[in-house]
Amino acid sequence: MLGNFFQMVKIGKELGLSKKEINRVFLFGNSKHSILYILLMIAAFIFIGFVIIILAVDASRNIYPAGTFYSTVKIKDFKGKK
């Protein structure tokens, strides 16, 4: 898919199109509802960002790495030692 993108950009440059005209093709610039598509893309990126943040917070709550044993040392073990 990425190869097709670069091929389209190369063809656009060979035809003498400007960078703005090439980007307009890929960013729904010629469509009837271009603002709606742009808003939907922004909403999708925000949603993906929230999902990544939620997954990062959930992953950071795990104190011990996978496959390790849990510690049996507790705070009450240190109260008698002064």
State whether 26 and 5 are in the same domain: yes
State whether 20 and 41 are in the same domain: no
State whether 3 and 14 are in the same domain: yes
Q: Could you report the per-residue pLDDT of 30-67, keeping only the tens digit for each?
A: 667 778 888 888 999 999 999 999 888 877 776 666 66
Mean pLDDT value across the chain: 78
State whether 22 and 35 are in the same domain: no
Please give the model's pTM, rounded to 2 decimal places: 0.44
What are the b/e assignments for 52-66, b being 16+ CB within 10 Å? eeeeeeeeeeeeeee
Report the distance separating Cα 30 and Cα 17, nearest Å.
15
Q: Supply the range of the domain harboring residue 58.
A: 31-62
Joined tokens for residue 27: 């960013």
In a domain, 80, yes or no: no
Let me know: does 38 contact 27? Beta carbons within 8 Å.
Answer: yes
